[in-house]
Amino acid sequence: MGIFDFLKSRGIETVNFTEIEAWLDKQVESKQLHHKVARTKNAIFNKIIEGHRLLAELEKAGLRNENIPLKAKQIMEGHRKAYIQKLKKFLDEIEVPEDFSQIGYYAASFSESLDQLSQDTHKNYAVLKEFLEEELTRVVRAVKSIEDELAKLQAEIEKEGIELIKDAKVRFKQYHNDLKRKAVLEEERKRHEDDYENLKERKHKLESKLHELRQSQEYQAYKEFIDNKKQYEEQLRNIEAELKIMFAELNRPLRKYKHLSPQEKLLDKYLLDPLGALQDDDSFVMLEVLGRMSQELHNLELKENQLEKAMELINKLSRDFFLNKKLEIDRLKGLNREMASKINTSVMALNIAEAETLVRGVNEKIIHADQSLEELKKAFEEINLDYLKQKVKEKIKEISPKIIINDW
């Protein structure tokens, strides 16, 4: 005697969860629904034949009252011909599916088609009813009885709890799909985690290499080039700032005087970019301009304090001042170019740039990999197999309340 035999004797059935799909198929098979569908198909086939026979009678039927106008007869004949053609076409297109699971959809579709037929033949029907009501009524009843047969079959199928079985199969399939999907996600997550760890290891190696490069003597020399270049540029900016301040204070007198001077463009250049103007002014033409302007200061309508300041600055802007500043600018620019050349041709600079680029690239990949891992983890955690399994069990209990479902 089997371990569960005593349960069978009490009408209790047991099934393993992995065998539920086969159990559901067995429930469907035990209901012999294909026989019911075949029986209905046969009944509908006979009704189609009957419909054609009744249409033939309608086609041949004579009028009860022959004393009607010829015009009325012709109108009636036209409607009879059209009505019979439409009904014959409708009957010929009826094809009941053999699969019981399609009956519900087919029955609903048939009813919609029948309603459409009624609308399409409404005028024909209304005219024929005045002349051949008895024959017409028999045809309508025959066609309507096909709908009744389908509704009866659908009711029998629903009574057998097929919708519950179909729903249970859908839920069971969803469980298995999610089970497979979770396994795929788990493998994908492991692969991403391996890639993530490899990226972190690669980043560590690259950063170590970058650190070694920055500790080398070659890097110290390279860094010195950069620091020197920054110092030269800072000194140039200081000179530029000093010149801009001086020529800004001479702005008013220079602008008043430039209309009296043939060197108007040179004055504009000194006012806009004194450092650049001084570099280009190899003959120190500006000194001559300032000398002539000093003789005209009293004619430029300047206030007393502006006049005094202008004279003070003109005296300061001597040949030695211009020469020293120009030499210093040339020297600093030359040194700056020299440092730039050394930086651009430095092998260390190339190595550092390459290492930094590789580190940035790995960092971007790590960020992307981290985001992908989070998305995978979230998708994995959203799949609740226990919940899905419970829903399958609940549906099976609706089909067979006394059943016992093992988890394996």
Partners of residue 250 on adjacent β-strands: none
What is the per-residue pLDDT for 338?
92
Across the range 76-90, mean pLDDT stands at 94
What is the per-residue pLDDT for 1?
35
Least confident of 7-16, 103-112, 158-167: 7-16
Structure tokens at 364: 């971007």
Averaged pLDDT score across all residues of the chain: 86
Token pair 């690259």 in the structure block, residue = 206
| Alpha-carbon gap, residue 408 to 400, rounded angstroms | 19
Of the pLDDT bands very low, low, confident and very high (cuts 50, 70, 90), residue 334 is very high
222 burial type by CB count under 10 A (0-12 exposed, 13-18 middle, 19+ buried): buried
Q: Which helix (H) or strand (E) holds 400?
A: none
List, for residues 366-394, the tens digit of each pLDDT value: 999 999 999 999 988 888 888 888 887 88
Specify the amino acid at residue 56.
A
**Residue 160 confidence (pLDDT) above 50:** yes
**Residue 121 confidence (pLDDT) above 50:** yes
**Residue 402 confidence (pLDDT) above 90:** no
**Residue 81 confidence (pLDDT) above 90:** yes
What is the per-residue pLDDT for 230?
94
**Residue 10 confidence (pLDDT) above 50:** no
Across the range 107-129, mean pLDDT stands at 93
Structural domain spans, the chain: 32-159
Across the range 71-89, mean pLDDT stands at 92
Token pair 């990949």 in the structure block, residue = 365
CA dihedral 133, 138, 141, 146 (to 10 degrees): -140
Whole-number Cα distances in Å, 223 to 215, 227, 347, 352, 356: 11, 6, 13, 11, 15
Which residue in 77, 59, 53 sits closest to 143, CA to CA? 53
Yes or no: say if 209 and 355 are a contact pair by the CB < 8 Å rule: yes
**Residue 6 confidence (pLDDT) above 70:** no
Partners of residue 15 on adjacent β-strands: 405
Q: What percent of the chain has pLDDT over 90?
A: 37
**Residue 211 confidence (pLDDT) above 90:** no
What is the per-residue pLDDT for 308?
81
What is the per-residue pLDDT for 87?
94
Q: Where are the alpha helices (DSSP H) in 121-216?
A: 122-129, 133-159, 162-215
Residues in Cβ contact with 37 at an 8 Å cutoff, skipping those fewer than 6 apart: 96, 97, 98, 99, 100, 103, 153
Model pTM score: 0.46
Least confident of 30-34, 268-272, 328-332, 395-399: 30-34
What is the per-residue pLDDT for 11?
60
Q: Where are the alpha helices (DSSP H) in 216-346?
A: 217-249, 251-257, 264-272, 274-280, 285-296, 304-316, 319-344
Of the pLDDT bands very low, low, confident and very high (cuts 50, 70, 90), residue 126 is very high
Partners of residue 406 on adjacent β-strands: 16
Of the pLDDT bands very low, low, confident and very high (cuts 50, 70, 90), residue 328 is very high
Least confident of 97-106, 111-120, 312-321: 97-106
| Alpha-carbon gap, residue 339 to 235, rounded angstroms | 14
| Alpha-carbon gap, residue 182 to 404, rounded angstroms | 27
